[in-house]
């Protein structure tokens, strides 16, 4: 009858690869936290940009600092994506609780994702709904909010967000594709149209807006006009 060999030599030969695998996983989990420190001064790219580059797909992105982006865009993005961006610590637990209550289960949960969580996802994780991704995303968002200023978080978000159907990333590429002008020259309605694209820039096109996108853009533009203080935490003298 076969009996497992649990001799010290056998245990030692198994322990080393398991230990190496543990350290490799630990390093992979810690890497985003270390990179976040680097991103206080280094301009990052998203995982989707890296994937498209590796697979030979088109990527267009020109990084522009926040002071070279029309103030209408970050304000409208806050209004449309994360109204409490300036007051929460990376995760909006009020919206999160509402999303959980509206969902039948965690896998069906929609909404409740802050701009900071989207930055965490775009920089370090993957798309799609996943409990595992959310579990990794929450502490990352809290860390990003702790390490980076709100202004820097918004600057990164506007420069890594996907803003077109053919590899256009960032506000500058999105503005030039949709309106033939730089992000600095966006009108309030154009900014609202770009903000309305963000959930799905492949099917929502500010260059050829359908009735739904035009309706959302008008709604966001009106809300932004009534709540200019929503983006006070990222304002600077231009």
Q: How far apart are CA 80 and CA 111, in angstroms?
A: 12
| Dihedral of alpha carbons 156, 162, 166, 171, sign | negative
- Residue 237, pLDDT > 50, answer no
Q: Which residue carries 């649990």 as its tokens? A: 6
What average pLDDT does range 31-36 have in this prediction? 94
Looking at residue 12, what is its pLDDT?
A: 59
Looking at residue 97, what is its pLDDT?
A: 73
Highest mean pLDDT among 70-74, 97-101, 112-116 belongs to 70-74
- Residue 98, pLDDT > 80, answer no
Closest C-alpha among 47, 27, 35, 39 to residue 128? 47
Token output for 79: 């209004």
What is the tens place of the pLDDT at every residue in 131-145?
888 899 999 999 999
Q: What are the residues whose beta carbons fall under 8 Å from the beta carbon of 175, sequence distance 6 or more?
A: 181, 182, 183, 185, 186, 190, 194
What is the tens place of the pLDDT at every residue in 80-91?
999 999 999 999
Looking at residue 169, what is its pLDDT?
A: 97
Looking at residue 103, what is its pLDDT?
A: 53
Looking at residue 238, what is its pLDDT?
A: 44
Tell me the backbone φ, ψ of residue 168, rounded to 5 degrees: -85, 120
- Residue 112, pLDDT > 80, answer no
In the predicted model, what is the mean pLDDT of the chain? 88
What is the tens place of the pLDDT at every residue in 163-198?
999 999 999 999 999 999 999 999 999 999 999 999
- Residue 162, pLDDT > 80, answer yes
Q: How far apart are CA 116 and CA 106, in angstroms?
A: 20
- Residue 107, pLDDT > 60, answer no
What is the tens place of the pLDDT at every residue in 187-226?
999 999 999 999 889 899 999 999 999 999 999 999 999 9
What average pLDDT does range 21-34 have in this prediction? 79
Looking at residue 111, what is its pLDDT?
A: 55
* Comparison of pLDDT for 127 and 79, the residue scoring more: 79
Tell me the backbone φ, ψ of residue 90, rounded to 5 degrees: 110, -35
């Amino acid at each position: 009858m076969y009996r497992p060999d649990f001799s010290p030599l056998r245990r030692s030969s198994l322990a080393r690869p398991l230990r190496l695998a543990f350290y490799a996983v630990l390093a992979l989990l810690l890497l985003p936290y270390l990179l976040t420190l680097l991103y206080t001064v280094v301009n990052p790219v998203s995982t989707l940009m890296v994937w498209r580059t590796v697979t030979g797909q088109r990527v267009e992105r020109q990084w522009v600092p926040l002071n070279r982006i029309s103030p209408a865009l970050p304000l409208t993005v806050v209004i449309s994506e994360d109204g409490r961006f300036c007051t929460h610590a990376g995760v909006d637990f009020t919206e999160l609780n509402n999303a959980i209550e509206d969902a039948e289960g965690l896998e069906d949960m929609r909404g409740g994702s802050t701009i900071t969580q989207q930055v965490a996802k775009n920089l370090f994780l993957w798309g799609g709904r996943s409990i595992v991704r959310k579990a990794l995303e929450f502490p990352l968002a809290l860390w990003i909010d702790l390490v980076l200023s709100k202004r820097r978080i918004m600057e990164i978000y506007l420069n890594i967000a996907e803003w077109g159907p053919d590899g256009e990333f960032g506000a500058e590429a999105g503005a030039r594709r949709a309106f033939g002008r730089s992000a600095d020259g966006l009108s309030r309605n154009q900014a609202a149209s770009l903000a309305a694209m963000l959930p799905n820039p492949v099917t929502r096109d500010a260059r050829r807006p359908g009735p739904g996108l035009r309706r959302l853009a008008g709604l966001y533009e009106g809300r932004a006009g009534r709540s200019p203080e929503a983006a006070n935490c990222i304002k600077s003298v231009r």
